[in-house]
Structure 1
Amino acid sequence: MRVLTVVSHPRKDSLTFKVADRFVQGLAEAGHDYEILDLHGIGFDPVLKGADEPDWSASVQTFSPEVETEIRRLKEHDALALIFPVWWWHLPAMLKGYIDRVWNNGFAYGANHLHHQHALWIGLAGVSEEQMNKRSYGEMITHLLNVGIAGYCGISNSKVEFLYETLESEPAHYDMLLDQAYRLGLNYGKDGQSRKNASP
């Protein structure tokens, strides 16, 4: 498969990008092709303006040049991975804005849906798994991404994976997180790796 790997973090030296690098290493070793889309790196504007507002009366829309470029990029790939820090129990504004603008009416939902076979969401959480699930945050985020976004856009094989305690300072813990990212790439798209409505 050709996997578009969307990364949302303002710093190239962040753990998020290190995770992305290890993830695509796993993809490559499994025989997949990939492209990393660095949203901050390309200067993507996450703010939805009038040109990209969904027109519910139209089955097909023409959007701003920036959005049309990203639509073409999506069409060139079979599957998706989205790698991001969990901020306020949600996607970063940059990634949310990318979805708002690019996964738009008539392309990702409505008259047409995304054609991608799989979506994998990799969220880096500063908290522990116990803290994440204490108030059902993990379940809430997983349902939103798998059902509210991926499922709504026609992607039936969607899974959320959390990398926990990313604020931990021990090198051994970082190595474990990077190994987890590598294995997610290595096993991408295999039976049971992605499933709709999966638990964290």
Structure 2
Amino acid sequence: MHILTVVAHPRENSLTMDATKQFINGLKKKGHTVEVLDLYREEFDPVMIEKDEPDWSRGDLHYSKRVMEEIDRLNQADGLAFVFPIWWYSIPAIMKGYIDRVWQYNYAYGNHKLPHERIQWIGLVGGSKEGFEKRSYDKLVKHYLNIGLSQFVGVDTSRVNLLYGTLEASSEAEQKAYYTSWMNEAHQLGLEYDSFESEQDKIDY
């Protein structure tokens, strides 16, 4: 499979970027090919402009040059993956803007659906697993990504994995242990990409 991996973090030397590299290593080890869309390094503009606002009266794709380029890139992929930090219990604004602008009417929804087989979402969480689950933030994030996004655009095989505790380490030794755990998990997710089962509860739209 050819996997388009979309990553969002302002720093290249971040845990998010390291996790992305390990995820890609896992994909390639299983024989997949990968294209990376690094939203920050490519300076993707997440702001919706008038030319990209959905036009409910038309049935063709007639959006801005950048959006049409990204749609072409999507069309080359069999599957998708997204790697990002969890900010305010959601994806970063630049990634939300990418989805707003590129998952367009009559391409991702409306008279057409995304052509991709599956989506893997990988979010890095600053706090602990216990703290995140205490208020059901994990369920909120997974429902939004698996149902509100993936299923709505026709991708029924979707999974969210959260790497916890990225700001929790209290010592250098603990930080190293956490880091090893995160990188191993990201690598394993790459190895499992073509075989994971969907987390979605099917909802009839």
Cα shift at 1:82? 0.2
Deviations 1:95-154 (A, max 9, x none): 000000000101010010001000010000001111111111110110111111111100
- Give matches, 1:47-196, under 5 Å: 47-169=47-169, 170-192=175-197, 194-196=198-200
Cα shift at 1:191? 4.5
TM-score by length of 2: 0.93
Deviations 1:154-194 (A, max 9, x none): 000011100000113411111100000000001112043x4
How far apart, in 1, do the equivalents of 2:30 and 2:61 lie?
Answer: 37
Q: Which runs of 5+ in 2 are unaligned?
A: 170-174
Amino acid at match of 1:195: E
Cα shift at 1:49? 0.7
Amino acid at match of 1:10: P
How far apart, in 1, do the equivalents of 2:110 and 2:194 lie?
Answer: 26
- Asked which structure has the greater CA Rg, the reply is 2
Q: Which piece of structure 1 moves more, 53-62 or 151-160?
A: 53-62
Q: Which runs of 5+ in 1 are unaligned?
A: none
How far apart, in 2, do the equivalents of 1:13 and 1:28 lie?
Answer: 22
Cα shift at 1:197? 4.2
Cα shift at 1:196? 2.1
Contact persistence 1:143–1:197 (CA under 8 A) = no
Contact persistence 1:55–1:61 (CA under 8 A) = no
Which secondary structure state, in structure 2, belongs to the residue aligned with residue 195 of structure 1? coil
How far apart, in 1, do the equivalents of 2:59 and 2:25 lie?
Answer: 39
Cα shift at 1:58? 1.8
Amino acid at match of 1:3: I
In structure 2, the CA distance between the partners of 1:12 and 1:191, relative to structure 1 (3 Å rule), is closer
Contact persistence 1:158–1:197 (CA under 8 A) = no
How far apart, in 2, do the equivalents of 1:9 and 1:197 lie?
Answer: 30
Contact persistence 2:127–2:168 (CA under 8 A) = no
How far apart, in 2, do the equivalents of 1:173 and 1:140 lie?
Answer: 24
Which secondary structure state, in structure 2, belongs to the residue aligned with residue 5 of structure 1? strand
Question: 4+ residue stretches of structure 1 with deviation over 4 A?
Answer: none
Cα shift at 1:60? 2.1
Contact persistence 2:147–2:200 (CA under 8 A) = yes
Contact persistence 2:128–2:168 (CA under 8 A) = no
Root-mean-square deviation (Å)? 1.2
Q: 2:172 — aligned with what?
A: none
Contact persistence 1:122–1:160 (CA under 8 A) = yes
